[in-house]
Amino acid sequence: MYIKSGSDINLTCVVLQTPEPPSFIYWYHGGHVINYSQRGGISVVTEKQTRTSRLLISRAAANDSGNYTCAPSSSDSASVSWIRKRDLHILTVGILTYTNDQRFQSLHSDGSDEWTLKVSSPQVRDSGTYECQVSTEPKISMAFKLNVVGEYTRRRNTQGVRSFLSKAKIQANSELYIKSGSDINLTCVVLQTPEPPSFIYWYHGGHVINYSQRGGISVVTEKQTRTSRLLISRAAANDSGNYTCAPSSSDSASVLVHVLNVFTSIAKVA
């Protein structure tokens, strides 16, 4: 097919000899699904009962040249999964949850081609990229960016209703210098939250250290007072770095710790 630049590409796909309407009809340009493309001027209209799908690309340009594929798929042969990209953890397959964190749930209505990932009580640590994957051949995937900014609580005063952001605060300077062999002692307080946090995690760099197997680390959290204390005994140079206090449903707080090797020398006076 030859199309003049600036004209429309108009394609119709019909699924033949199938007793049931397909669950999905996807359009590919090259190896990429374009049903949900963010490029303007692309529309896909699928009518399951008539087993047809129409692709319209307005004002075609040279980079719209290439192979276009219509790929029907049945729910019996394809499964839909949600993946958390930061650790490639499979959260759900179909409507089944494959993680111990039961806040994650896949929502789907029979006869629909929509699959929704529901995250109950989202927390700041849930921020990141999540990918929906369909096990067709070739595989279909689409990524979504989730940004959890914190919990807003509402408090009424004589001037009306104001909003406050629930956040953590580490009771220390933003940058600390510790002598090697001394203790690192940090206290985190969760502010402006009506309910105690479900948990408070401490991170060293990108790693949770609440349950670290390194000896000499202890974390004491008191939910009712909304405080958590981190103690690292006999700090060494590899304990330097960024420490973050991350409560559930609140903004996190961080400090940068430098563990210094201090050498003393004795000079003999002749």
Do 173 and 233 fall into the same domain? Answer: yes
In terms of phi and psi (left: phi > 0; alpha: psi -120 to 50; beta: otherwise), the region of 253 is beta
Angstrom distance (rounded) from CA 193 to CA 206: 25
Look at residue 266 and tell me whether its pLDDT is greater than 70: no
Angstrom distance (rounded) from CA 209 to CA 137: 41
Do 169 and 237 fall into the same domain? Answer: yes
Look at residue 221 and tell me whether its pLDDT is greater than 80: yes
Domain boundary among 56, 73, 90: 73
* Lookup result for tokens 């206090």: 245
Average pLDDT, the chain: 83
Confidence of residue 74 (pLDDT cuts 50, 70, 90): low
For residue 84, give the nearest of 122, 121, 117 by alpha carbon: 117
User: Does a structural domain hold residue 154?
Assistant: no
User: Does a structural domain hold residue 106?
Assistant: yes
In total, how many domains does the chain have?
A: 3
Q: What does the block give as tokens for 137? A: 């051949």
Do 59 and 121 fall into the same domain? Answer: no
Domain boundary among 73, 94, 119: 73
DSSP string, 183-224: -EEEEEEEES-SS--S-EEEEETTEE-TT--STTEEEEEETT
User: Does a structural domain hold residue 205?
Assistant: yes
What is the average pLDDT across 159-165?
A: 47
User: How do residues 168-198 score in pLDDT, each as one tens digit?
Assistant: 999 999 999 999 999 999 999 998 877 788 8
Do 33 and 87 fall into the same domain? Answer: no
Do 215 and 251 fall into the same domain? Answer: yes
Verify cis geometry, omega within 30 degrees of 0, for the bond prior to 197: no
Look at residue 203 and tell me whether its pLDDT is greater than 80: yes
| CATH at 178 | 2.60.40.10
**Which residue range(s) make up the domain with 34?**
9-73
User: How do residues 98-121 score in pLDDT, each as one tens digit?
Assistant: 888 889 999 887 766 778 899 988
User: Does a structural domain hold residue 268?
Assistant: no
Q: In this predicted structure, what is the pLDDT of residue 77?
A: 54
Do 199 and 256 fall into the same domain? Answer: yes
Do 189 and 249 fall into the same domain? Answer: yes
Q: Are 241 and 256 in contact (CB under 8 A)?
A: yes
Confidence of residue 150 (pLDDT cuts 50, 70, 90): low
Domain boundary among 49, 73, 97: 73
User: Does a structural domain hold residue 46?
Assistant: yes
Angstrom distance (rounded) from CA 2 to CA 227: 68
Q: In this predicted structure, what is the pLDDT of residue 149?
A: 64
Q: Are 134 and 114 in contact (CB under 8 A)?
A: no
Confidence of residue 204 (pLDDT cuts 50, 70, 90): very high
Q: Are 119 and 130 in contact (CB under 8 A)?
A: no
| Angstrom distances, CA of residue 95 to CA of 85, 92, 126, 135 | 19, 7, 20, 15
Do 14 and 62 fall into the same domain? Answer: yes
Do 18 and 55 fall into the same domain? Answer: yes
